[in-house]
Structure 1
Amino acid sequence: MLRSLFPGSGNSIADQSDDAPPENTAFPRRYLAFFIFISAIFFVFNSIDSLRFLSSTTTSSSSSSSFSFMFPSNNRISSQDKEKYRLERVLKDAATEDNTVIITTLNEAWAAPNSIIDLFLESFRLGLHTQRLLNHLVIVALDDKAFRRCLTLHKHCFALLTEGIDFSKEAYFMTPDYLKMMWRRIDFLRTVLEMGYSFVFTDADIMWFRDPIEHFSPEADFQIACDYFSGNPLDINNKPNGGFNYVKSNNRSIEFYKFWYSSQEKYPGYHDQDVLNFIKHNPYIAEIGLKMRFLDTAYFGGFCQPSKDLNKVCTMHANCCYGMDSKLYDLKLMLEDWRLFLSMPPSLKRSQGYSWRVPKNCRYIFSSV
């Protein structure tokens, strides 16, 4: 060890002759002892400092700990920059070759065991050629418990926590918490676009049965599902549903999301879907050159207007339904119907004599509102 510390000193202290004069060895021994003492103090100091650093990083989430390692000085990096760095890592890990990701949001209410998120993920595993799409799914958790549950279920999780706002409970339609959650989502998706990622956004109460990519128009910038579809994908009077959309990252889509988000000031008290219905007629949409398309409910259906042919359906949304219990009941029934369809012989599948039993509980809830 001493030879490695002093590579040019020749023999070590232990190799010196016993006949050497005491006065010639006393000073080197004192020097060596002093050096060892100083080295020990330096080692202990660094060990304590390292333990302090490890303690500070391991108490945070897995995504933030890696950021703390890269940027240990909290004074130099803003919280917004930290969040973007963590998001960039998650998006990069999940993205396809053309920088596209699938995104859903999750709060504590929908993250409970045997709840919405479990059915959502199960639909990917039951769908035709959809399980591989889970590799590109990013679950955006809106509260700590949802993030912790996500880490037990999926490999691409991101914590989007908003200071001073609790998104953990079930947000009932049009309540203040619901509106805040919807607008936070729009702002977040704008950030994703600005980072260069295209996305398919999907609510977690949408079941995936087929890969939807072939039904997206390659020319459109913004494509959105409908509560009610007129039959014409270019008809601006279609009734869009913000729970499912495919958006390409470009200057037009980024400007559109900025305009959409800022329009809440002009229409206070309305949620993002209502505001979209207002602004889709605005001349500014044509001015920025945004190409908008509406998705056919034959492929992208829901409880408002179900996809009747199970040979075509890609996704089914538990829209036009209020209350967790009703959603869960009908979503479970929907997955049972799909399993039964898959078990049928091809000739029976093609007969189109079999369709959904849903909406059932959701039909009653919707009709009574």
Structure 2
Amino acid sequence: MALSNNSSAKVGAAVVLLITGVLYLCFWLRDPLIISLQHSSTTTIDDLEAALQRAASGNNKTVVIAVVNKAYVEKSGSSTSTMLDLFLESLWEGEDTRHLLDHLMLVAVDQTAYDRCRFLRLHCYRLESADQQHLDFSGEKVYMSPDFIQMMWRRTLFLLHVLRRGYSFVFTDTDVMWLRNPFSRLNNNDTVDLQISVDSRAGHFINTGFYHIRSNNKTISLFEKWYSMRDNSTGMKEQDVLKSLLDAGFFDTLGLSVNFLDTVQFSGFCQDSPDFGAVTTVHANCCRHIPAKVADLTAVLRDWKRYKTAMVSRHKAKQLRFRWTPHANCWGSWNDTHYNPQQ
């Protein structure tokens, strides 16, 4: 009888120890530090996600994205600035734009552009892929050349990947001068899926050089359909294909809410803003090559600085009518048939 009681006591003690051990493991595994360690051991963050997280920090998972190559970060011919230099200068000279540099991610399509980005200590991502092995995107791609069209489609695919990761963004070409903070001029309503610039107020001649897009199922579906049409659109740039989807009613089919940005605020060389007090961005559209863009955008920044100086004396500024310097280099670029782009 004593032996039986002793055995029962040992079994009872073992059960108590087992239950205690299980409870200890449960509480230990629920510890935040342990959960964090377990998560970090099973979750990998690739270079793109890391760059996006840095650029989107504190900005509601929204980034500013620009794509650069060697031709945009190196001086060409007699130019005193690069396209990237002018773009960054506009962020410095613009109204309430300097802090936006913290949310800018430069996507470099070649090593020279990536090295320059890193030297400037910006948020940088090096775009590489297996299907790019036989494509060289480093040199200048003249408007509507086969390489230009290829590069635009590669850009579209990359931006689709960004949307799929849940990031909203403003895409901007680096030949867009940011003279005021565009976020203060864009519609902040979450129901607006896409806000895109246009070349002219007459008709929806959309321009993919500047737009804001929210990441959701509708916009992802749009980009998937858009990119899927690349092989059936010979001779058309990606912007033309997107316009064809708009005209065909595909935006309505998806239920997309779209705003077309007014050229008074989001202007370009195709149609100047008549109002220096409202202009937010100036895009070197309707221009064929980089040297012409650099020359005329340099004049844009000079005009902007002149306007800002005059605004110090508001009484004087009201008496002045500010006009943009004519974009003579860009207008003439279409007749420059002997132009050889720098490689």
Common fold by TM > 0.5:
yes
Q: Which residue of 1 aligns with 2:271?
A: 305
Quick check: 1:213 aligned with 2:175? no
1:216 shift after superposition: 1.8
2:171 paired residue among 178, 185, 201: 201
Q: Which residue of 2 aligns with 1:140?
A: 107
Q: How far, CA to CA, are the matches of 1:210 and 1:282 in structure 2?
A: 34
**Alignment check: 8 A CA contact 1:334 1:358 kept:** no
Using the size of structure 1 for normalisation, the TM-score is 0.73
For this pair of structures, how many residues does the alignment match? 284
**Alignment check: 8 A CA contact 2:59 2:103 kept:** no
1:294 shift after superposition: 0.8
| Higher Rg | 1
1:328 shift after superposition: 1.1
Partner of 1:269: helix, strand, or coil? coil
Partner of 2:271: helix, strand, or coil? coil
1:363 paired residue among 325, 331, 337: 331
Q: How far, CA to CA, are the matches of 2:318 and 2:206 in structure 1?
A: 30
Q: Which residue of 1 aligns with 2:321?
A: 353
Partner of 1:129: helix, strand, or coil? coil
Q: How far, CA to CA, are the matches of 2:251 and 2:62 in structure 1?
A: 23
Q: Which residue of 2 aligns with 1:8?
A: none
Q: How far, CA to CA, are the matches of 1:246 and 1:154 in structure 2?
A: 25
Q: How far, CA to CA, are the matches of 1:227 and 1:366 in structure 2?
A: 17
Map 1:17-166 → 2, pairs under 5 A: 85-95=46-56, 96-113=58-75, 114-161=81-128, 162-166=132-136
Q: How far, CA to CA, are the matches of 1:163 and 1:350 in structure 2?
A: 56
Using the size of structure 2 for normalisation, the TM-score is 0.79
**Residues 177-236 of structure 1: CA deviation (Å, up to 9, x unaligned):** 101100011111111111111000000011001011132222320111011123xxxxxx
Partner of 1:228: helix, strand, or coil? coil
1:361 shift after superposition: 1.4
1:119 shift after superposition: 0.6
Change in Cα spacing, 1:284 to 1:324, as seen in structure 2 (3 Å) is: closer
Quick check: 1:269 aligned with 2:241? no
**Alignment check: 8 A CA contact 1:123 1:209 kept:** yes
1:248 shift after superposition: 0.4
Q: How far, CA to CA, are the matches of 1:196 and 1:349 in structure 2?
A: 45
Q: Percent identity?
A: 38
Name the aligned partner's letter for residue 207 of structure 1.
Answer: M
Q: How far, CA to CA, are the matches of 1:318 and 1:200 in structure 2?
A: 17
Map 1:307-322 → 2, pairs under 5 A: 307-322=273-288
Q: How far, CA to CA, are the matches of 2:335 and 2:205 in structure 1?
A: 18
Q: How far, CA to CA, are the matches of 1:239 and 1:351 in structure 2?
A: 35
1:358 shift after superposition: 3.4
**Residues 28-47 of structure 1: CA deviation (Å, up to 9, x unaligned):** xxxxxxxxxxxxxxxxxxxx
Name the aligned partner's letter for residue 220 of structure 1.
Answer: V
Q: How far, CA to CA, are the matches of 2:183 and 2:139 in structure 1?
A: 33
**Residues 305-356 of structure 1: CA deviation (Å, up to 9, x unaligned):** 0112111111000110112221111111111111111111223334460121
**Alignment check: 8 A CA contact 2:109 2:137 kept:** yes
**Alignment check: 8 A CA contact 2:296 2:329 kept:** yes
Q: How far, CA to CA, are the matches of 1:313 and 1:352 in structure 2?
A: 16
Q: Structure 2 regions of 5+ residues with no counterpart? A: 1-39, 76-80, 338-343
Consecutive aligned runs of 4 or more in structure 1 exceeding 3 Å deviation: 348-352, 366-369
Q: Which residue of 1 aligns with 2:18?
A: none
**Alignment check: 8 A CA contact 2:264 2:275 kept:** yes
Q: How far, CA to CA, are the matches of 1:220 and 1:282 in structure 2?
A: 20
1:276 shift after superposition: 1.4
Q: How far, CA to CA, are the matches of 1:196 and 1:206 in structure 2?
A: 25
Q: How far, CA to CA, are the matches of 2:92 and 2:250 in structure 1?
A: 41
Q: Structure 1 regions of 5+ residues with no counterpart? A: 1-69, 72-80, 231-236
- What RMSD over aligned residues (CA atoms) do the two structures have, in Å? 2.0
Q: Which residue of 1 aligns with 2:222?
A: 256
